[in-house]
């Protein structure tokens, strides 16, 4: 979006079309209290180490290197401003599932103005359908944004939230503000992506309108196709606290981006044998 200091977020002139609908499209706001973790639905998990950092955003600012605020990229090792689905399919990956050459990125985090390098990102693919068999695969080439990089208010911590991650991987509840984690734990930022698709468009003018969030595990009529809910958690080598900011502004401006450039046959298989079968595959299968 822009730079990391605590100054108000500057919206670049060329971004007007891309961000005009952000305020209307993001999930509802809540007070700055912790959000409890929900029960676990069928899932499979991918872990991707940190790949690289660039001031690029191939969804919002395609073919405009340096136009974005700084982002940290996970998964595909070639992601940059000029990336396309075709180019990403030729790229390598930092993920523990070799077929996951998708591109994931989040704004760079800073502690007292010094950039933090993420340790890794943990990515959950979950089946949120009331009937697990009703979930469809993520369509090849789908592009998604989630979270609000322009907000000055807390976001719903169930959708964009900070937590503490212990050495064994267990997590605390999620907070809209950054907690100071106990000694030995690391602060983490999670972003959830929408799980309802309009069934037609792989992108939209605001990069959001082709997707929606479900209500009570049911998709709205204008976005009837349930796909896996993707949640990306970036883990940092820091205890967090009040000194954390993001490249998009304050720590409240968490957001994430995703381009589906998986080896589609393997993604389809995982959706079939894990999600549609109602299994919690985790990191196996």
pLDDT beyond 90 at 14: no
Work out the average pLDDT over 193-205: 98
Contact 252, 154 (CB under 8 A): yes
Which helix (H) or strand (E) element contains residue 244?
strand 244-246
| DSSP β-ladder status, 43-54 and 280-282 | parallel
Separation between Cα atoms, residue 52 and residue 219, nearest integer Å: 35
Q: Within 10 A of 217 (CB to CB), how many other CB atoms are there?
A: 14
Separation between Cα atoms, residue 247 and residue 119, nearest integer Å: 18
24, with CB counted inside 10 A (0-12, 13-18, 19+), is exposed
pTM score, whole prediction? 0.87
Quickly list DSSP for 96-124. SSTT---EEEEEPEEETTEEPPEEEEEEE
Work out the average pLDDT over 208-234: 98
Q: What is the pLDDT of residue 170?
A: 85
Q: Within 10 A of 257 (CB to CB), how many other CB atoms are there?
A: 26
Q: Within 10 A of 40 (CB to CB), how many other CB atoms are there?
A: 10
Alpha-helix residue ranges (DSSP H) falling in the chain: 16-19, 22-25, 85-89, 264-270
Structure confidence by residue, pLDDT tens digits, 243-278: 999 999 999 999 999 999 999 999 999 999 999 999
Q: What is the pLDDT of residue 4?
A: 36
Contact 43, 274 (CB under 8 A): yes
Q: What is the pLDDT of residue 18?
A: 43
Residues whose CB is less than 8 angstroms from the CB of residue 92 and which lie 6 or more positions away in sequence, other chains included: 76, 77, 78, 101
Q: If pLDDT is split at 50, 70 and 90, which confidence band does 175 have?
A: very high
- Provide the β-strand partners of residue 270: none
Quickly list DSSP for 253-276. G-EEEEE--S-HHHHHHHIIIIIT
CA-closest candidate to residue 139, choices 199, 95, 192? 199
């Amino acid at each position: 979006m822009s730079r990391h200091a605590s100054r108000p977020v500057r919206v670049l002139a060329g971004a007007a079309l891309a961000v005009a609908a952000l305020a209307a499209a993001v999930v509802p706001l809540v007070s700055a209290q912790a959000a409890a973790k929900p029960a676990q639905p069928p899932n499979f998990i991918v872990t991707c180490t940190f790949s690289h950092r660039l001031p690029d955003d191939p969804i919002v600012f395609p073919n405009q290197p340096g136009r974005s605020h700084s982002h940290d990229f996970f998964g595909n090792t070639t992601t940059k401003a000029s990336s396309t689905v075709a180019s990403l399919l030729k790229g390598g990956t930092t993920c523990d599932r070799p077929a996951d050459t998708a591109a994931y990125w989040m704004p760079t985090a800073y502690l007292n103005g010094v950039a933090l390098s993420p340790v890794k990102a943990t990515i959950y693919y979950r089946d949120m359908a009331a009937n697990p068999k009703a979930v469809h695969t993520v369509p090849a080439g789908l592009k998604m944004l989630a979270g609000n990089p322009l907000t000055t208010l807390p976001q719903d911590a169930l959708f964009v939230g900070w937590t503490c991650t212990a050495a064994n991987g267990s997590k605390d509840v999620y907070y809209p503000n950054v907690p100071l984690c106990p000694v030995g734990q690391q602060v983490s930022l999670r972003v959830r992506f929408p799980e309802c698709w309009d069934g037609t468009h792989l992108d939209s003018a605001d990069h959001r309108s082709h997707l929606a969030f479900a209500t009570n595990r049911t998709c709205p009529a204008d976005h009837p196709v349930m796909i896996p809910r993707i949640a990306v958690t970036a883990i940092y080598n820091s205890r967090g606290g009040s000194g954390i900011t993001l490249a998009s502004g304050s720590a409240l401006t968490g957001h994430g981006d995703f381009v589906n450039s998986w080896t589609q046959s393997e993604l389809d298989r995982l959706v079939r044998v894990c999600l549609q079968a109602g299994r919690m595959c985790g990191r196996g299968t």
